[in-house]
Structure 1
Amino acid sequence: MARHVLVTGGAGYVGSHACKALARAGFVPVTFDNLSTGWRDAVRFGPLEEGDLTDAERLAEVFARWKPVAVLHFAALSLVGEAVRDPGLYWRMNVLGALNLIEAAAAANCLDFVFSSTCATYGDQDGVVLDEDTPQAPINAYGASKRAIEDILRDFGVSHGLRSVIFRYFNVAGADPEAEVGEFHQPETHLVPLLLDAVAGRRPALTVHGSDYATPDGTCIRDYVHVADLADAHVLGLEWLLNGRGSRVFCLGTGRGFSVREVIEHARIVTNRAVPVVEGERRPGDAARLVSGSARAIEELGWKPERSTLPAMIADAWRWHQTGGYER
């Protein structure tokens, strides 16, 4: 008997990779997406149900039709700058949308829930390795909305017996090693696709935002996880819940960050092309160094972030970018 899993945001970057990992693990991923930032072409591993999380009636229809054994929730607005300018949008879309989803899942007795959260819930805690016990202090509506959803999940655990695995992570990079799905946003804000577009001549030179930070080469350091490793973690989290292990929070990172200049240099090596770069001013709110530990995920879930190296992440992303991506 098919085991359906509802994947919100399954047409997006991380969600589409998770759908492939789910299909490989024997599940049928049912994508629920309004296609506002996702891509129809990315839905390749199971059926697509178009809809919006603000539409409670539509959610109820989808739960009734597919009777999923669990939910993987990726759908969210995630641009920090936009969240600062328009916090109401983020509270309305992210929090109310998630509440509708959680209520629909509870009503359908679908009580296993994997949530894609973020280390932005920790706020500006520069220079420390962030783990599950680090106090949360978000500094914008994006991080605050994700923390609020974590709180809702805990409350529904008490009231309805909802079991949740919450993943917090920072930067995601790379693409499906088989180049079936990849990373493409409009607008694009992530470093790796920006620099690969610059290498390919699809956009002007990459802007390095600040080169005078207190780091070895003066540029910001971030923790990067390969999207395929991240997708594998979500399947492990799902199996954790289905095996009756109970609610748990996991951070996903390597514990080792890479500077902007390191990423650029590895891109030059992988592509064998020069990366056009211009120096820019610092962006408000950018911390010098942000890394996330993942000891709990490795020890308890058995997670192995084997592809989360800069050469692998950039090579896989470059391979997918050369296919032309979605609607280029």
Structure 2
Amino acid sequence: MKTRYSYGGDEHIFVECDEEMSLEAFFKGMSITSALREAKIKGVTEICPANASFQVRFDPDVISPEAMMAELKALEAAAQAAPSTLQTRIIEVPVLYNDPWTHETLMRFRERHQDPTSTDIEYTARINGLDGVDGFIKAHSGAPWFVSMVGFVAGLPFLYQMVDRPRQIQSPKYLRPRTDTPRLTVGHGGCFACIYSVRGAGGYQMFGITPMPIYDPNQTVPYLRDFMCLFSPGDIVKWKPIDRAEYDHTVAEVDAGRWMPRIAPVSFSLTEFQKDIDGTNARIMEALNGH
């Protein structure tokens, strides 16, 4: 679809890149917002990227809404002509699938689920034609995921699976939201994964839990001292299945201030990805070796 621009009062412009989520729409939004940051246009006070859209806040006393709109449309034309390559990083996130804490929670809320007789992983594996829990874990952790946006709750990333459409895991949200979700739950709703940065209400399917803090407002966790939120749009995530012993060890190391996540710089080309999805993913994940 053609990019849709709309005003949000006197101080905001909302830009919709596409009506459905795709890597193409995500890259379009990333390219425009990146160009907007680099342009350092006077009056721009906030840039908020989302899955297939973004919103810009500006000071109308410094730049008029019409002038801001014109600047964004010019940036879109320049961004579309630029190569679709992103310099980013891949972050390994350990996950204890089928953990006892999300299991206890999901059992408390079975009456709100589409299938009260099975767990969230069993249900999602079945509706996606996967071979039970093991098949689900293999599919979920076998390819990297893009962080398409961060928000709604501080530090909470939304992630889009980097595979072709037929292989993307899809699962609906609960019929009615839960009033409780454990902190650091790995969840899923629609085609998006997420990590619940704090404990609270939620409606996404619950698949496991990570021992890795992703949000620390006190900035006492060593790798969160520079910024309280770990993820940024454009980051790439690789899930790493772990057992209970490794989970407990990692929690202890985090508490002692000794644990650091595995992070590596990577270059991602949308053109190369579209030509060879599995080959591009293998190259990206290989970057973690040695980190």
Which TM bucket (shorter chain)?
Answer: under 0.3
Tell me the TM-score normalised to structure 1 length: 0.22
Task: Answer 1 or 2: which has greater helix percent.
Answer: 1
Q: Which has the larger radius of gyration?
A: 2
Task: Answer 1 or 2: which has greater strand percent.
Answer: 2
